[in-house]
Amino acid sequence: MQLFSRKPGDTPWQGPADPITGLAAVNDEVSDLVLHVEWPILQAARLAGAVRLTRRLGGDRIRIGIATPHPAGEWLAEAFRAGADDLVICPGAPAQVLLAFLPAARRCRLEDCCPHLHQRIRHNLPMCVCGRHRDRMVLAGHHLDRWCVGDVASCPHRSGGDDHEEA
Report the interface residues with ligand SF4, using CB under 6 A.
114, 116-117, 130, 132, 139, 147-148, 152, 155, 157-158
Q: Which is nearer to ligand SF4, 61 or 158 (CB)?
A: 158
Q: Shortest approach of ligand SF4 to residue 149 CB, angstroms? A: 8
CA distance 105 to 124: 28
Q: How far is the CB of 72 from ligand SF4 (least distance, A)?
A: 9
Treating both helix axes as pointing N-terminal to C-terminal, what angle do 73-81 and 40-58 enclose, rounded to 10 degrees? Answer: 20
CB nearer to ligand SF4: give 28 or 165: 165
Of 113, 11, 114, 125, residue with least CA distance to 66: 113
Residue closer to ligand SF4 (CB basis): 23 or 90: 90
Q: State the nearest-atom distance from the C-beta of 114 to ligand SF4, in Å.
A: 3
CA 74 to chain centre: 12
For ligand SF4, the closer CB: 64 or 117? 117
Nearest distance in Å: CB 113, ligand SF4: 8
CA distance 147 to 154: 7
What is the distance between the alpha carbons of residues 129 and 30, in angstroms, rounded to a whole number? 35
Number of neighbouring beta carbons within 10 Å of residue 102: 21
